[in-house]
Structure 1
């Protein structure tokens, strides 16, 4: 005597097929199943980064600092200097003051992009939706880098145009100076934020990762300033040459040191350090529990 098959729920478009030797039929879902890819992860991360208030507030403060301080410095310089004093000055260089403070906002946002999910436990949902962990980190990196670069480039370009208009006596920057003072510095700031994102993924703690990145930006220069011993002169000069503030000033052909990086070298240094950190973060992400 055959065992009667239990009644199965019906769904629109669903198909039930008999399985030989089994009292239960197989089920074919009416919902199309397609393999996911990096584009799906990027869309998800874009939704996250634009839907949280911290992104708008952090980027808003960044724009305020970069544009506000950049223009304020230019106004003060124009009011207290004559045309002869500005004859050899690169007018784009006055934007570095706002960028140095604004970089703290990009660092904070980069850390929060990854570390905040560990703090709230949302990372479990993220990894369940996309088990390929390297893809998740790559999607976060791509979305954040594009956002940071776009906002930085728009802010820096606005300050550069305003400084050109305010500082009539300053010389006209060359094409390479324009390229470095807008595109180059924007790429460097975006990479600095991307490195913060990676450190946040490694540390998994927002406050700890932000502290590490702020220390990376400020500590070398501060330590170098207080090294008075002649025996430490080589270390002092190295810290001074490769400090973040000095590398930022290189993009405006106004480096604080003659022996440190020059031209586009700070950007290549940032690319190398960020790439190495990203590889390490992916390796740790694969080995750790969520």
Structure 2
């Protein structure tokens, strides 16, 4: 048999075969579609039926609610992409077939990112079209600009996919599915929950910081509907999540290279 040197393409093919073959992918992405599209449709139907005055709001902003819940599906899949192999012991087989651990993690990250981004983009694009068509007749509705459309679809999808990469990195660090998923849920929801209960004046600065940089608020910024007047604006949330993702991946590469399986 001819012997050929292996490369990243082989690792990508392997990871694509894995991610499309396991049931967790279909379940998590299926629930993602149901949540984002279903809640988006329900929100649009509820607002359009009552002739609600949108008070200058873009109709695209109301896609926020479905995406916020859909994030939980993406971070769950991100963790399972790598932690499930540790749970079953298949990581030994993977690293035997491809001894380059950096190549394995790179392939997992690329395949997962593309899958998460594509599915999220399809969902957010459909929701944006529904919102615009169903709420365009409401009083006070603002006409969305081209930038609004781009942020509510491509921008949001990039943010969600990169948050999923953070989850994948945490899965590589923790190597335990339940623990890594719990940590990521805390990262997404805990800052906002803590800020809500910080009513003391001495904690005002901390409360403002938690609100400004919480994941729900940064999603709101991309939907042009921030809950605070300060903090990130415009495209800044994408820059923040890119930096966090890069740091998490560096930590995951270092841990995977140094630790035994």
> TM-score category by the smaller chain?
over 0.9
Task: Name which of 118, 124, 130 aligns with 1:156.
Answer: 124
Per the TM alignment, residue 171 of structure 1 is displaced from its structure 2 partner at its CA by 2.2
Shift in Å, 1:81: 3.0
SS at match of 2:99: coil
C-alpha distance in structure 2 between counterparts of 1:89 and 1:230, whole Å: 32
Match of 2:97? 129
Aligned to 1:77: 47
1:252 deviation in Å? 1.1
Q: 2:88 pairs with 95, 111, 120, which one?
A: 120
Give unmatched runs, 5+ long, in structure 2: none
1:261 — aligned with what?
232
How many angstroms apart in 2 are the aligned matches of 1:77 and 1:60?
Answer: 25
Count of equivalent residues: 258
Output one character per residue of 1:146-189: Cα deviation in whole Å (capped at 9) or x when no partner. Answer: 00000000000000001111102322200111111110000000
Moved over 3 A (4+): none
TM-superposition CA deviations, 1:7-39 (whole Å, max 9, x none): xxxxxxxxxxxxxxxxxxxxxxxx100110011
User: Which of 174, 179, 198 matches 1:227?
Assistant: 198
CA distance in 2, matches of 1:268, 1:182: 17
| 1:286 is aligned to 2:254 | no
Larger Rg: 1
SS in 2 for 1:32: coil
Q: Does 1:42 align with 2:12?
A: yes
Does 2:150 match 1:183?
no
The Cα of 1:87 is off from its aligned counterpart by 5.2
What is the aligned counterpart of 1:277 among 237, 248, 259? 248
When the two chains are superposed, the root-mean-square deviation of aligned CA atoms in Å is 0.8
Which structure features the higher share of helix residues?
2
- For structure 1, list consecutive stretches of 5 or more residues without a partner in the other structure: 1-30
Shift in Å at residue 86 of structure 1?
A: 2.5
